[in-house]
Structure 1
Amino acid sequence: MRVVSGSARGRNLKAVPGMGTRPTTDKVKEALFSMIGPYFDGGHVLDLFAGTGGLGIEALSRGMDQAVFVDLEYKSIEVVRANLKTTSFEDKAEVYKNDAERAIKALSKREKKFDLVFLDPPYRMKNGDKLMETMDQLDLLNDDATVVLEYESTFVYPDVFGKFTEVRKAEYGETALSIYKYNQ
């Protein structure tokens, strides 16, 4: 695993020990960023279920200003911090050990909203749409924000729900990506 492009291009990222996480492969990461970017002119990114932090770090490398990383597992939090140090992005990041729903509620108390959100929950969890609706209710997203939902390709999320519209979908083996736009 490595940073594919941008200011930290080529830097190797640590993986979380064990079998509890599924890091997004470089191939899928490259395809994903070509769909949503590939580069950014600032903004704030939320990497929920961060795992290694690879997606949020890639977004920082490609021009995002700030990132918030959230994961429930202590091992993941340690790896995210190590990967931020490797890429010299510690000053652009906040890292929290928390449950996704509680983290969303806590983040709603801040003034900053997000322009880009990565939702990559464990495949057994099928609540990506509910988490997105909670972000809307708590006013966490800027208008026209992009939300990337990664999930098991055998599962189907709706094309449109609430203020979210799917603008792109791609499948890579057992992994599916749905890219949603948020419109207030």
Structure 2
Amino acid sequence: MRVIAGELKGRQLKAVPGRSTRPTADKVKEAVFQILGPFFQDGLCLDLFAGSGSLGIEAISRGMEKCVFVDKHPKAIHTIQQNLKSFNIEQKAEVFRADAYRALHAAAKRGLRFDIIFLDPPYGKVDYMKFLNAINELELLNSNGIIYCEHDSNEILPDEHCNLSVLKKESYGGTIGITIYKKK
């Protein structure tokens, strides 16, 4: 697992020990960031179910100003902190050990609004509609903001939801599905 492009290109990421997380494959990450925008100029992103922090760190490497990382597993939090420290980007990150749904409410209380939200939970364990509804109701996404959903390829997410429309749907390797929404 490595950073694909940007300031940290080629740097190796530590993975979370054990089988509690499933890292996003480099080829999927590369394809996704070509869709999201190969490079950014500032902005704030949220990496829910962050695992090793791979997606948020990739976004920072490509120019995102700051990322909020959330995971409920202590090993994941430790791994994210190690990765941030080894890349010397701790000042561009906030890391929280919390339930993802509660973290959305905490972000809303702080008045945070994101340009990109990464939803990459364990497959089959999360109701995406619950999260999309909460993001919409709590007004957590900036105009033209993007939500990246990674899921089992058999799971079908709607083409439109609330004020979101699909920017891209794709399947990788027969098992990984991605649905990327953009705020209308």
TM-score class normalised by the smaller sequence? over 0.9
Corresponding residue number in structure 2 for 1:87: 87
Query: What is the distance in 2 between the residues matched to 1:84 and 1:18?
Result: 20
CA deviations on 1:101-146 (whole Å, 9 max, x unpaired) are 1100011011331000100011022412220210111111111100
| TM-score, normalisation: structure 1 | 0.97
1:1-184 equivalences in 2 (<5 Å): 1-173=1-173, 174-183=175-184
State the 1:71 CA deviation.
Answer: 0.2
Which runs of 5 or more residues in structure 1 are unaligned?
Answer: none
Q: How many residues align?
A: 183
| TM-score, normalisation: structure 2 | 0.97
Q: Are the counterparts in 2 of residues 69 and 96 from structure 1 also a CA contact under 8 Å?
A: yes
Q: Are the counterparts in 2 of residues 69 and 93 from structure 1 also a CA contact under 8 Å?
A: yes
Query: What is the distance in 1 between the residues matched to 2:141 and 2:167?
Result: 17
Aligned residue identity for 2:86: T
Query: What is the distance in 2 between the residues matched to 1:87 and 1:37?
Result: 22
Query: What is the distance in 1 between the residues matched to 2:70 and 2:132?
Result: 15
Which runs of 5 or more residues in structure 2 are unaligned?
Answer: none
State the 1:19 CA deviation.
Answer: 0.8
Query: What is the distance in 1 between the residues matched to 2:110 and 2:132?
Result: 17
Query: What is the distance in 2 between the residues matched to 1:99 and 1:145?
Result: 23
Q: Are the counterparts in 2 of residues 47 and 55 from structure 1 also a CA contact under 8 Å?
A: yes
